[in-house]
Amino acid sequence: MKNTQIQLNFNNAYAEYSEPLYRFCLRKISDCELAKDLLQETFFRAWRHISEGKDVMNMKAFLYKILGNLIIDQYRKRSPDESLDTMCEDGFDPGTDETERLIDSIDGVQAVKYLGEIREPYRATIKMRYLQQLSIREIAGISAAGENTVVVRIHRGLHILHDLLDHAAKTRKVA
């Protein structure tokens, strides 16, 4: 080992990682032949990278990153065989399930209840974003803050709100 680099030769990397990479790929795309092709392309790209004299700090992470990108590319290439419109024309009725919407509305009511416990400017930012449904840019203009600041406030505010809801749920279970 030199500095924090892991020194593996290419054959050892193939022997160690090919099977787990194949299983990972197969779970994502559900096509054995395509999984083998993507695995082969993964190792080809890794070999090309290494043969160009470029360092690889973590071979396992490097290989998974290559394979993940190839899988994403594969998803982008796919065109749906049947559209939902075609399925509906053939008599398929997806129906409407209101359960998810009902759960969301109940969660929303609870969230608004605890929103008053969040300090400013997080409370106002969350209200503008989720109750008034303003865009990040609109909130930034209203609050005279940068868009990055608004995003951070929303993130932190939601984290605080989540903690409050989590604490309330735990308290109800104990009582």
Query: For the segment 99-140, what is each residue's pLDDT rounded down to a tens digit?
Result: 455 445 556 667 777 788 888 888 888 888 877 788 888 888
Residues 6+ apart with CB under 8 A from 13: 46, 59, 60, 63
What pLDDT is recorded for position 175?
Answer: 53
pLDDT of residue 44: 92
The pLDDT score that the predictor gives to residue 160 is: 87
Domain with CATH 1.10.10.10 in the chain: 100-174
The list of the chain residues with pLDDT below 50 reads: 1-8, 82-83, 86-88, 92-94, 99, 102-103
Report the greatest alpha carbon distance in the chain.
64
Q: 100-174 sits in which CATH class? A: mainly alpha
Say what the pLDDT of residue 108 is.
65
Listed in order, the ranges of the chain carrying CATH 1.10.1740.10 are 10-77
Domain 10-77 in CATH 1.25.40.20: no
pLDDT, position 114: 78
Tell me which residue of 142, 148, 146, 145 sits closest to 127, measured CA to CA.
142
pTM assigned to the model: 0.43
What is the structure's pLDDT at 4? 36
